[in-house]
Amino acid sequence: MNDTKLAPTPGNVYSFSRIKCLQQCPLRYRYRYLQGLKEAFRSIESFLGNAVHDVLEWMYATRDIGPAPDESMILERFAASWNTDRDDTVAIVRVDDEEDVYLKLGREMLSRFFRETFARDRSETVALEQRLSVRLADTVVFTGFADRIGRTEKGRLFVIDYKTSKSEGDGSEFSEGLQAPLYASCVLADNSEVEALAGYHYLRYGTTHWQQVDGERAAQLLERFLDLANEAAAAGEFPARPGTLCAWCGFNAQCPAAEVPERFSGGLRRAERDGRRLL
Ligand code: SF4
């Protein structure tokens, strides 16, 4: 079992994912971030996202030290990484799906990215999978990982977040409004620049949504995040908020409020096989 993929974020370190988890379901937040419980499974969608991200990181790292990889090398790398990392913590939530559906999707996303973006991308890489961290108050540290930090050919600093999600973001706070712009805010401070671009690249569609972050916006974003982290720290009740996401929640076998339809019960069955149904 790959424990690090399932481990919670500790203590007073607040990531965007942690705050988003509280918004989506306070009980899941309590299990994961306050009680430190491990989720019983990883959905195959999450595993696919990690596998694709690993290959993207490798593509840019390889290009930085020698010839850029071609499409066949990229797909070989993806297949190898999938086979090596796939373990029994990964669950196919949609019970009618076969694993090949996700492998094919990963190949399609990487091929599209290679042809439409990577092959003509002349930007410079500043950092890959870069951990960013800023102390916002005595008890609150914001942290996150930027997929890629770079500079355009014209020298503009940017942060990009790769998304394998089914739909593109809508610009709202927990969709696109905070995550990449917060990372850009950290990068601005680290590089003493006056502005940076924050982007989301949607790998299923080959589209990128950009935002500009200057010093004033960065200060607002960090202040907003501090408010959200303070609200999380002050929360005293953690009600269940059941819904569609229950099928993808690794606590669904132990949660008394879980709502998991049979057709999306692959994760639940996986958890039950592990003896995680406690009630
Ligand atoms: S199963 Fe649903 S209600 Fe229960 S913790 Fe998970 S997301 Fe929340």
Q: Tens digit of pLDDT for each residue in 96-142?
A: 999 999 999 999 999 999 999 999 999 999 999 999 999 999 889 99
Is the CB–ligand 1 distance for residue 245 below 6 Å?
yes
Taking residues 230-255, what's their average pLDDT?
Answer: 95
Is the CB–ligand 1 distance for residue 110 below 6 Å?
no
Confidence grade of residue 58 (pLDDT, cut at 50, 70, 90)? very high
Tell me: do 197 and 148 sit in the same domain: yes
| CA dist., res. 142 & res. 14, Å (int) | 5
Q: pLDDT value at position 276?
A: 63
Tell me: do 31 and 78 sit in the same domain: yes
Is the CB–ligand 1 distance for residue 255 below 6 Å?
yes
Q: From the CA of 26, how far away is ligand 1's center (Å)?
A: 8
Atom 7 of ligand 1: nearest residue by CA position = 246
Q: From the CA of 270, how far away is ligand 1's center (Å)?
A: 16
Q: From the CA of 16, how far away is ligand 1's center (Å)?
A: 19
Tell me: do 112 and 247 sit in the same domain: yes
Q: pLDDT value at position 84?
A: 92
Tell me: do 28 and 53 sit in the same domain: yes
Is the CB–ligand 1 distance for residue 249 below 6 Å?
yes
Residue 216 lies in a domain: yes
Residue 138 lies in a domain: yes
Q: Which own/partner contact pairs does 176-181 have at CB distance under 8 Å and 24+ positions apart?
A: 176/200, 176/209, 176/211, 178/16, 178/221, 178/224, 178/225, 179/16, 179/144, 180/146, 180/211, 181/211, 181/213, 181/217, 181/218, 181/221
Q: From the CA of 254, how far away is ligand 1's center (Å)?
A: 9
Is the CB–ligand 1 distance for residue 35 below 6 Å?
no
Is the CB–ligand 1 distance for residue 260 below 6 Å?
no
Tell me: do 164 and 264 sit in the same domain: no
Q: In CATH, what number is assigned to the domain containing residue 213?
A: 3.90.320.10
Is the CB–ligand 1 distance for residue 257 below 6 Å?
yes
Strand residues in the chain grouped as ranges (E)? 13-15, 42-43, 90-91, 124-137, 140-151, 157-163, 195-202, 207-214
| CA dist., res. 116 & res. 266, Å (int) | 34
Taking residues 214-228, what's their average pLDDT?
Answer: 94
Q: pLDDT value at position 10?
A: 52
Cα diameter, the chain: 59
Is the CB–ligand 1 distance for residue 28 below 6 Å?
yes
Tell me: do 114 and 243 sit in the same domain: yes
Tell me: do 213 and 249 sit in the same domain: no
Is the CB–ligand 1 distance for residue 258 below 6 Å?
yes
Tell me: do 139 and 269 sit in the same domain: no
**What is the percent of the chain with per-residue pLDDT over 90, rounded to a whole number?**
84
| CA dist., res. 268 & res. 270, Å (int) | 5
Is the CB–ligand 1 distance for residue 276 below 6 Å?
no
For tokens 């671009």, name the residue: 197
Local structure of 39: helix, strand or coil: coil
Q: pLDDT value at position 277?
A: 56
Q: From the CA of 274, how far away is ligand 1's center (Å)?
A: 18
Q: Is 52 in contact with 103 (CB distance < 8 Å)?
A: no
Residue 278 lies in a domain: no
Is the CB–ligand 1 distance for residue 252 below 6 Å?
yes
Residue 169 lies in a domain: yes
Taking residues 138-152, what's their average pLDDT?
Answer: 94
Tell me: do 177 and 48 sit in the same domain: no
Atom 2 of ligand 1: nearest residue by CA position = 246
Q: From the CA of 251, how far away is ligand 1's center (Å)?
A: 7
Tell me: do 147 and 228 sit in the same domain: yes
Q: Which of 55-69, 129-143, 168-182 has the lowest average pLDDT?
A: 168-182
Q: pLDDT value at position 166?
A: 87
In total, how many domains does the chain have?
2
Average pLDDT, the chain: 91
Tell me: do 152 and 244 sit in the same domain: no
Residue 59 lies in a domain: yes
Residue 129 lies in a domain: yes
Taking residues 195-205, what's their average pLDDT?
Answer: 95
Q: Tens digit of pLDDT for each residue in 14-29?
A: 999 999 999 999 999 9
Domain extent at residue 155: 123-234
Is the CB–ligand 1 distance for residue 246 below 6 Å?
yes
